[in-house]
Amino acid sequence: MLSVSNLSTSFRVEGQWKSVVRNISFDIKPKETLAVVGESGSGKSVTALSIMRLTPPGSSKIEGSIKLNGKELLTLPDADMRHIRGNEIAMIFQEPMTSLNPVLTIGFQIAEALILHRGLSRSEAEAETIRLLEKVRIPAAKSRFHEYPHRFSGGMRQRVMIAMALACKPKLLIADEPTTALDVTIQAQILELIKTLQDEEGMSVLFITHDMGVVAEIADRTVVMYNGDEIETGNTEDIFARPQKPYTKALLSAVP
Ligand code: ADP
Ligand code: MG
């Protein structure tokens, strides 16, 4: 469903083009989870932002090909790309607060997304918002509709962000280190939630992490990145059983 080939991304820094992602290729099949793993600075987030075409327009260059169900995203008009971001691909981030408006209630923000992207009426959107908050297992969802983001814990905020992501009925969810900022027990709950929702919704997931333990939990296939390069790609089981590259072995040695 998503086919990335020879993706390269550069940024203009002080007048020079700096290459930060080089010749990355991978496919994600329907309902599959693909992990992109690598240490900080290896180009994982830039890869995700390139797929969404969210790198700064004037000072970045994305080359190669990114096809979503056969449609080339890199040459799509901006308006069509906005439609893709609202209706086909959703993204969640490490720090959910950066995507939530602190002065608007949780319920209002999700309802707005539903009105904008799915054309629901206000009352339909409010009912659907409560359904989504229940779907991401927020206790007493109905009574939390009118609360502001700061009243939610980190794990609950990430659940809200997942509800927001589901509002657009995505075919692909890109999750950029969604559990990194959370306590270990909460991390496990969020991973479990993403797996359950993936089954229920039939989505594909591109899961970015620096943690091989998380990869083992969630990914069918895995891309290992280092310093902007794709080091190794394969079935997660194969990568764990027979890592081909020293860098992958080093990442695996950190897993308890
Ligand atoms: P990761 O997500 O794997 O930690 P990133 O994809 O965020 O790494 O970053 C990869 C490299 O690209 C880093 O060296 C980072 O400094 C650089 N980079 C990211 N965004 C920009 C930008 N907007 N301008 C210039 N360099 C950037
Ligand atoms: Mg990152």
Model pLDDT, residue 86: 84
Q: What is the mean pLDDT of the chain?
A: 94
- 252 in a domain, yes or no? no
- 210 in a domain, yes or no? yes
Ligand 1 atom nearest residue 208's Cα: 2
Dihedral of the alpha carbons of 24, 30, 33, 36, in degrees to the nearest 10:
10
Model pLDDT, residue 91: 94
Confidence of residue 188 (pLDDT cuts 50, 70, 90): very high
- 141 in a domain, yes or no? yes
Q: Give the amino acid at 156.
A: M
* Higher-pLDDT residue of 197, 97: 197
DSSP assignments along 144-162, one per residue: HTT--GGGS-HHHHHHHHH
Q: Is the CB of 166 under 6 A from ligand 1?
A: no
From the CA of 12, how far away is ligand 1's center (Å)? 12
- Ligand 1 mutation pick, 9, 21, 46, 230, max ligand atoms within 8 A of CB: 46
- Ligand 1 mutation pick, 45, 49, 91, 227, max ligand atoms within 8 A of CB: 45
pTM of the model: 0.94
Confidence of residue 18 (pLDDT cuts 50, 70, 90): very high
CATH number, domain containing residue 188 = 3.40.50.300
- 158 in a domain, yes or no? yes
From the CA of 65, how far away is ligand 1's center (Å)? 20
Q: What is the mean pLDDT of residues 106-116?
A: 94
Model pLDDT, residue 168: 87
- Give the pairing of strands 71-72 and 60-68: antiparallel
- 40 in a domain, yes or no? yes
Ligand 1 atom nearest residue 43's Cα: 6
- 127 in a domain, yes or no? yes
Examine the pLDDT at 98 and tell me if it is beyond 80.
no
> Residue 36 is part of which domain span?
2-244
Examine the pLDDT at 68 and tell me if it is beyond 80.
yes
Q: What is the mean pLDDT of residues 6-19?
A: 96
Q: Is the CB of 40 under 6 A from ligand 1?
A: yes
Model pLDDT, residue 256: 74
210-228 pLDDT per residue, tens: 999 999 999 999 999 999 9
What end-to-end distance do the CA atoms of the chain give, in Å? 34
Ligand nearest to the CA of 181: 2
Q: Is the CB of 158 under 6 A from ligand 1?
A: no
Ligand 1 atom nearest residue 38's Cα: 3
DSSP 8-state assignment for residue 237:
H
From the CA of 191, how far away is ligand 2's center (Å)? 18
Examine the pLDDT at 97 and tell me if it is beyond 80.
no
- 254 in a domain, yes or no? no
19-56 pLDDT per residue, tens: 999 999 999 999 999 999 999 999 999 999 999 999 99
Q: Give the amino acid at 75.
A: T
**What distance lies between CA 1 and its chain's CA centroid?**
15
Cα separation, 236 vs 238, whole angstroms:
5
From the CA of 128, how far away is ligand 2's center (Å)? 31
Model pLDDT, residue 100: 87
Provide the number of structural domains found in the chain: 1
CA distances for 243 relative to 123, 238, 251, 256, angstroms: 53, 7, 10, 16
- 73 in a domain, yes or no? yes
DSSP 3-state assignment of 163? helix
Examine the pLDDT at 254 and tell me if it is beyond 90.
no
